[in-house]
Amino acid sequence: MQKPLSTDNINNVNKKLINRFLTKPKDFTYSELKKLLSSFEYKEVKRGKTAGSRAAFYNSETKHIIKLHKPHPKPELKRYQLDEIEEKLKNRGLI
């Protein structure tokens, strides 16, 4: 299990969400991911009508993109998706 985050520039709600994300719960939803990534200045990019379940989050300051498939029909993310996103955020020094 990960150590709790102690970053001062992230509010308590986001700290709780980050700590929840790091435990990789089976019920972590796409909506929670959007909120988590927005706390790191990522915006969901609309990819057009033909994008299907593909999604992307873009940080305009760092020009970094996180791509994934939206979960369906259930809103919960798969474990491998949480692992990939965690790795990308750690590589950027965000968590």
The three-state DSSP-derived secondary structure of the chain is CCCCCCCCCCCHHHHHHHHHHHCCCCCCEHHHHHHHHHCCCCEEECCCHHHCCEEEEEECCCCEEEEEECCCCCCECCHHHHHHHHHHHHHCCCC
Q: Which residue has the higher pLDDT, 13 or 85?
A: 85
Given a cut of 70, is residue 91 above it in pLDDT?
A: yes
Look at residue 48 in the predicted model and tell me its pLDDT: 66
Q: Determine the average pLDDT of the residues in 58-76.
A: 92
Looking at the structure of the chain, the number of domains it has is 1
Residue 1 lies in a domain: no
Mean pLDDT of the residues in the chain:
85
For residue 64, what are the domain limits?
Answer: 12-91
In this predicted model, what pLDDT tens digit does every residue of 13-59 receive, in sequence order?
788 999 999 999 999 999 999 999 999 999 999 766 656 688 999 99
Look at residue 54 in the predicted model and tell me its pLDDT: 86
Residue 6 lies in a domain: no
Residue 2 lies in a domain: no
- Residue 93: CB atoms within 10 A of its CB come to 6
Look at residue 12 in the predicted model and tell me its pLDDT: 74
In this prediction the pTM is 0.80
- Residue 33: CB atoms within 10 A of its CB come to 25
